[in-house]
Amino acid sequence: MNTCKATLRVLFSHRAYLLIYLVFVGIMMMSISWSMLSGTSDSAAAAFEPAKMRVAVIDRDSDRGGIASSMRTYLSDSSELVNVDDASETLQQAVVSNWVDLIVIIPDGFADDFIDAAATGENPPSVDTVTSYTSGAGSMARINVIGFLSLTRTALIGSHTTVDSAALAAMAGIDIGDTAGDSSEDGMGGFGEFSNQDMLDMLPAGQIEKPSVGDLFEASKAAAASASDMDANHKVAVIDTASADAESASDTAASGFGNTMKTALYPLFLAMTVCGSMILGTFTTGEVRRRLTASPQRMSSMGLQRLLALSGFALVVCVGYLVLAVGLMVAAGLDPLTLSAEEVLMTFGATCVYALMTVACGFMLSEFGFSEAAANGFANIFGLLIMFTSGVALPVDMMPGVMVTIAKFLPGWWYCTAIDNALGSGTAEETGISVAGWAGSLGLVALFGVMFICIGLAAGRFRRSRPALAAPATTQLAE
């Protein structure tokens, strides 16, 4: 008991390492986990609400034909209309300062040119547009402007196009009166023998009467009304399936919980490896070791008690991490009650075994006689290697094959695989929850701990068999 108390006193005397590696690095990893959890909960929103584009319409044609007012009405459903003065400096500032996503300028004489183009069949005139460079929203709004002008042109031409009835009847080779009274089975009045495309190709050319400004006004109003016409623009129906929603919520909670527990990989390895190396090394060097050797208690018993004290502290840290993981899930809007007790226990068990493995790694470093700087260097380099090859920092499907091969020789990969098998997520998403897979992965993590213990014992025995290696160098004064 005294050995355990002494071990804990030495541990808490290294508060700087505990704060840096457990608290600060833990907060950093928790923030990464929080971003993933909050992103997952936001993506599960019930409805998609697109942001409206900011559009300014500059009218230099005095609203002839109702083009400007109808365009504003047409764009109001999908865009936020912004008032901007028609001044060169103001327009430039609006674009550069990102006040608007799109500026539409209707030039002087646009309505007359639009009417002439419709009457002659030429290409219609275009409005001037200035698109913001910061996003693609302006380009999307420009497509809506082009759509409004196209609808206006279609309505204007359609209402003023006539086809000669005699030419139409001559094309079919029948009399108009007989066709009107025809009651053929196809209901096409004699035209049923032709396909739709053949009829379009055979129709005589229509004549377009030059429309007036009033006709353009009516056509633009019809185009603007089509934007809010539910018969022309059908709403998308969303059907909620209770079972699918429940399954999705359970999968989301399992994935979020697993990813949060995986982030314990890096701070646990740093804290327990460095602190374990320094604390256990304190009892095996210099005067402390000589005093312990002279005590009636066996060295192996005292070493085991020190390991048990560090292991107990590591398990307490695992409990704290579990509580924080559940708290983050609740804060992110995920329900931890959707997880079964077996899933939580298997995940927590994997974290505990991994924590004990980090204590074994610290024991190995202490037996090698690593200094404080060497232990920190090893823990940081090896810890980063474990983190970046485990799938915590990078998705597994984005890792190259060589990196995955290297990862399978490290404990971090099998720790994350054990959590995936416990929750049926990540690498085990297709196979689902697998107790056998969880036990196998966890056994490999435990074997890494056993390997560290064995290497440490061998290194310690080798150093103690050569006192010159184990004892610190002494300075001898010359006579």
Please name the residues in contact with 54: beta carbons below 8 A apart, sequence gap of 6 or more: 79, 80, 82, 99, 100, 101, 102, 137
Please name the residues in contact with 310: beta carbons below 8 A apart, sequence gap of 6 or more: 7, 11, 272, 275, 276, 279, 280, 359, 362
pLDDT above 50 for 86: yes
Q: DSSP code of 426? A: G
Of 52, 71, 54, nearest to 63 by C-alpha is 71
What is the pLDDT at residue 372?
Answer: 83
The domains of the chain are located at 2-44+243-470, 53-163+206-226
Of 301, 465, 460, nearest to 367 by C-alpha is 460
Residue range 352-359: average pLDDT? Answer: 93
Q: What is the pLDDT of residues 37-71, one digit of tens each?
A: 776 555 444 445 566 788 889 999 889 888 999 99
The DSSP bridge partners found for residue 130 are 103
Distances (CA, A) of 102 to 53, 127, 138, 170: 8, 12, 5, 51
Q: Which CATH class is domain 53-163+206-226?
A: alpha beta
Q: How far apart are CA 351 and CA 356, in angstroms?
A: 9
Q: What is the pLDDT of residues 283-296, one digit of tens each?
A: 666 565 555 555 55
- Choose between 14 and 386: higher pLDDT: 386
What is the pLDDT at residue 415?
Answer: 93
Residue range 77-91: average pLDDT? Answer: 85
pLDDT above 60 for 137: yes
Residue range 451-468: average pLDDT? Answer: 82
List the single range of 65-69, 299-303, 363-367, 422-426 with lowest mean pLDDT: 299-303
